[in-house]
Every structure is written in C-alpha cells, then in structure tokens.
Amino acid sequence: MTEEAMPITEMIKIKLVGCIDALTAPTIRGQIERAVAGGARRLVLDASELLYLSSAGLRLLGFVRQLVGHDVSIVVVGANDPVKRTIHLLGPQYNVLLQ
C-alpha cells in the first residue's frame, strides 16, 4: 500500500493503493490525518489502484468524514466494482460521492 497527498489549491487528492483492511487502515488513517491537517474544501480519494476495502476500510471513510466535517466534500474516483459496490451500499451514511 502506498499513498500520496497532493495539495491543489482547495482540493486535496490522496491516492489509495492496495488493500485497506484492519492491518493497513491505521497507517492510512494517520497519513490522511496529516494530509488534511491544513484544511481543504474538497477531498478526492483516488481509488484507481485500490484493490479491496474491508470493514475497517469502510470505517476509514467514516473517520475521514468526521475528521474533515460535513462542509468538505469527499469524492472517491476510479474505484473498481467491488469497492464501488461496498461504498454504494454502506458509504452513503458518510456522504461520500462516487465518481
């Protein structure tokens, strides 16, 4: 798993790679925390290289939502079908948009 943060004006883009599960979620969580610390109005999670999102991974979305607040839009782009399905079924509670 790797992750990279690229502040672009008011948008922060974070790339999610590999699997997000109970083993990797805490690390990614820390990286996202640092990435959004400066504030942003739009958070884009690039999931084009994300293979799998487990229950712990889903919780990461909930954590991020609480972290950035409801004024910030969270968009997941490029997710594969299983990830998309998981977010579609359980992500709406976190107000995460799929693109």
Binding site for other proteins (CB under 8 A): 21-23, 26, 54-56, 58-59, 62, 65-66, 85-86, 88-90, 92-94
Do 67 and 43 form a contact (C-beta atoms < 8 A)? no
Query: Shortest gap between Cβ of 6 and other proteins (angstroms)?
Result: 27
Query: Shortest gap between Cβ of 31 and other proteins (angstroms)?
Result: 15
Angle, helices 55-68 vs 25-35, to 10°: value is 20
Query: Shortest gap between Cβ of 83 and other proteins (angstroms)?
Result: 11
Do 83 and 61 form a contact (C-beta atoms < 8 A)? no
7 backbone φψ class: left, alpha, beta (φ>0; ψ -120 to 50): beta
Using DSSP bridges, classify how beta strands 5-8 and 11-20 pair: parallel, antiparallel or unpaired: antiparallel
Q: For other proteins, give the closer residue by CB, 4 or 70.
A: 70
Q: For other proteins, give the closer residue by CB, 35 or 61.
A: 61
Q: For other proteins, give the closer residue by CB, 26 or 39.
A: 26
Residue 11: other Cβ atoms inside 10 A: 15
Query: Shortest gap between Cβ of 57 and other proteins (angstroms)?
Result: 9
